[in-house]
Amino acid sequence: MREGDTVARIGGDEFVILLNDLRNKIDVSMVSRKIIERFSSPFMLNDQEYFISTSIGASIYPGDGEDALTLLKNADSAMYKAKAAGRNNFQLYSPAMNEQASEQLMLETELRRALEREELRLYFQPQVSLVTGEIVGMEALLRWERPGQGIVPPNRFLPLAEESGLILPIGERVMETAARQNKAWQDEGLPPIQMAVNIAHRQFQQQDLTRLVGKVLCDTGLEPRWLELELTEGIFVTDTDKAVRIIGELKNIGVKLSIDDFGTGYSSLSYLKRFAVDTLKIDRSFIMGIPQDEDDVAITLAIISMAQSLRLSLVAEGVETPAQMDFLRQAGCTSMQGYLFSRPVPAEEMGAMR
Ligand code: C2E
Ligand code: MG
Ligand code: MG
């Protein structure tokens, strides 16, 4: 910052920067860009690398507010917009944002209600062996059956659920329901297979996952090995020691662990050595380019061969065409999940498919 600028921490992870005597809006975005750039390289603390993302929202006196409170409130709206745009972003305030903010608030209220009214439903997508063609597992995927609005996909409400903390009760419900359903199928005499549930970053950070998993297994009677938790690469970066501990505890219980969207997060491969995960799920963005895109082909082959040498299982995500399937089979990938075999379907349909 320049001499004369003010930087203040107003609470938690929120900071306010006061820039005096700016000539124009361009200056604000320049300063913001500079700050974001500074945060793009990791911080070293006790020989550990820490990655921090920054989201910046700005309001300008007097157009965006004539008093401090209004300016702060509007900068805050802009900051949420920046966050929603995918972190490490900068946004200038615009009046439309207040409208959006109240829409968000409404959505949050409704989501809370949806949880109580059980409008959140689990769909299931099969995972298929590329060797035998059999269904070897499935993933539980959340849907919001919102009255009058049809089926709302998770990317429309999960970011908000994560932001507001609602993901914690939602995540508990998901794990419990998925485990119960898997046990019910076993009790009906279907061959036992793994049920994967997605774990949000915030659940990993804030929920006592070990306790939750233990409770769910105990309540439902499902054997640990039939439950799989899908983690994202992000958790290995933000709090490595804690992640090592929790993953150790989960492995002790006996549940399976996989890394979702593999290859799209922080590509530090060293964590594969430190964390005893079972499965890598190759991200759909790589599968999409197969077989025509050379880079996607190269990356996918590299992931497959790495998984083989580390003795990890593999699932290719988002397989839509026979050409993709053939390629993956030939390359030695052992299973796949995607529209080619089946979209995510309600429990009844999944039961009938098996
Ligand atoms: P994900 O865990 O990577 O799940 C795979 C997504 O890819 C699903 O989207 C699935 O419907 C979609 N997909 C599968 N095969 C294909 C295909 O062949 N083509 C295309 N175009 N898409 C395919 P969905 O159900 O919309 O879920 C999106 C994301 O939302 C999930 O990505 C996951 O990160 C998150 N999510 C879903 N349910 C939950 C949940 O219960 N808890 C948490 N924390 N996250 C969830
Ligand atoms: Mg997943
Ligand atoms: Mg995925």
The rounded Å distance from CA 55 to ligand 2 centre is 26
113/25 same-domain check: no
pLDDT at 292 over 80: yes
Q: What SS3 class is residue 164?
A: helix
148 occurs within a structural domain: yes
46-55, 103-112, 160-169, 287-296: range with highest mean pLDDT: 287-296
pLDDT for the residue 101: 74
Partners of 258 in beta bridges: 230, 279
1 occurs within a structural domain: no
pLDDT in tens, 144-191: 999 888 999 999 899 889 988 999 999 999 999 999 999 999 999 999
Share of the chain above pLDDT 70, in %: 99
The rounded Å distance from CA 316 to ligand 3 centre is 9
Neighbouring CB atoms inside 10 A of 204's CB total: 22
267/154 same-domain check: yes
CATH of the domain at 19: 3.30.70.270
pLDDT at 58 over 70: yes
Ligand at shortest distance from the CA of 120: 1
125/224 same-domain check: yes
Q: What is the pTM of this model?
A: 0.80
Separation between Cα atoms, residue 200 and residue 12, nearest integer Å: 21
Q: Which of 61, 93, 125 is the last residue of a domain?
A: 93
Q: What SS3 class is residue 104?
A: helix
117/248 same-domain check: yes
Contact (Cβ atoms closer than 8 angstroms) between residue 324 and residue 116: no
* pLDDT bucket at 21, cuts 50 / 70 / 90: confident
17/66 same-domain check: yes
Q: Which of 93, 127, 142 is the last residue of a domain?
A: 93
The rounded Å distance from CA 139 to ligand 2 centre is 7
Contact (Cβ atoms closer than 8 angstroms) between residue 136 and residue 172: no
Give the pLDDT mean for 282-290: 97
99 occurs within a structural domain: no
53/76 same-domain check: yes
- In 3D space, the residue among 239, 175, 179 whose CA is nearest the CA of residue 206 turns out to be 239
The rounded Å distance from CA 95 to ligand 3 centre is 36
What domain range includes position 72? 6-93
Q: Which of 66, 93, 120 is the last residue of a domain?
A: 93
From residue 40, alpha-carbon distances to 13, 136, 201, 329 in Å are: 17, 40, 20, 38
CA angle 162, 280, 326 (to 5 degrees): 120
Measuring from each residue's beta carbon to the nearest atom of ligand 1, which residues come in under 6 Å?
125, 141-142, 153-155, 158, 171, 174, 198, 200, 230, 260-261, 284, 317-320, 337-339, 344
280/304 same-domain check: yes
Separation between Cα atoms, residue 175 and residue 233, nearest integer Å: 20
84/110 same-domain check: no
Atom 16 of ligand 1, residue of closest alpha carbon: 318
pLDDT at 323 over 80: yes
CATH of the domain at 212: 3.20.20.450
Give the pLDDT mean for 224-250: 89
* pLDDT bucket at 349, cuts 50 / 70 / 90: very high
* 24 CB burial (10 A radius; 0-12, 13-18, 19+): exposed
Give the pLDDT mean for 260-286: 85
Ligand 1: which of 111, 177, 198 to mutate, most ligand atoms within 8 Å of CB?
198
32/145 same-domain check: no
157 occurs within a structural domain: yes
Counting the structural domains of the chain, the total is: 2
Separation between Cα atoms, residue 314 and residue 333, nearest integer Å: 6
61/159 same-domain check: no
Ligand 1: which of 158, 233, 335 to mutate, most ligand atoms within 8 Å of CB?
158
